[in-house]
């Protein structure tokens, strides 16, 4: 995938998560049905243990990536005073194949399978280069946070 700087959305402006719980850096692609994000694993990340980004970090990265699909209407207006937060309500299936290390930049991809109001069913995967790290089939509840 070719990443163009003008297409990158800074997710920090839209998710209510802050350090140390922010597990995505940028939205690289966003449509009504899918989202692609990037995240660089830093040494001081709370989910790094023995130089590896552990399973809980990968799951949180996926949840934050998935939140972008239903929350994307807020990305259209950077002046909006509303943010979204996603809550995992169900993990139907999850497979962890490998763990990334400090310094790796992971790419997460999520596809919307179905949606009913603020509840969505999403299939998601995370890669380090071409290596599949984690795959999950999850349900999220998306809540608006108004300031």
Read off the pTM.
0.81
- Here the CATH number for the domain that contains residue 134 is 3.10.129.10
Residue-wise pLDDT for 74-109, tens only, equals 555 556 566 666 678 999 999 999 999 999 999 999
Q: Compute, in degrees rounded to 10, the torsion defined by CA atoms 37, 35, 117, 93.
A: -80
Residue-wise pLDDT for 45-83, tens only, equals 999 999 999 999 999 999 888 877 766 655 555 565 666
What Cα–Cα distance (Å) separates residue 20 from each residue in 60, 72, 87, 105? 12, 23, 17, 17
* Residue 147 to residue 39: CA distance in whole angstroms: 26
Q: How many domains does the chain have?
A: 1
What is the domain extent for residue 130?
5-146
Within its chain, how far is the Cα of 72 from the centroid? Answer: 13
Out of 36-40, 66-70, 110-114, 132-136, pick the least confident: 66-70
């Amino acid at each position: 995938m070719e990443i163009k700087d003008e297409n990158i959305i800074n997710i920090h402006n839209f998710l209510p998560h802050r350090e140390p719980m922010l597990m995505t850096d940028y939205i690289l692609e966003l449509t009504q049905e899918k989202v692609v994000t990037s995240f660089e694993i830093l040494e001081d990340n709370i989910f790094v243990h023995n130089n590896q980004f552990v399973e809980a970090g990968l799951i949180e990265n996926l949840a934050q990536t998935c939140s972008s699909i239903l929350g994307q209407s807020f990305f259209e207006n950077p002046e909006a005073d509303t943010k979204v937060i996603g809550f995992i309500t169900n993990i139907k299936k999850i497979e962890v194949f490998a763990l990334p290390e400090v310094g790796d930049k992971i790419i997460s991809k999520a596809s919307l399978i179905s949606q009913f109001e603020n509840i969505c069913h999403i299939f998601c995967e995370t890669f380090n280069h071409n290596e599949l790290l984690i795959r999950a089939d999850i349900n999220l509840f998306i809540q608006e946070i108004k300031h």
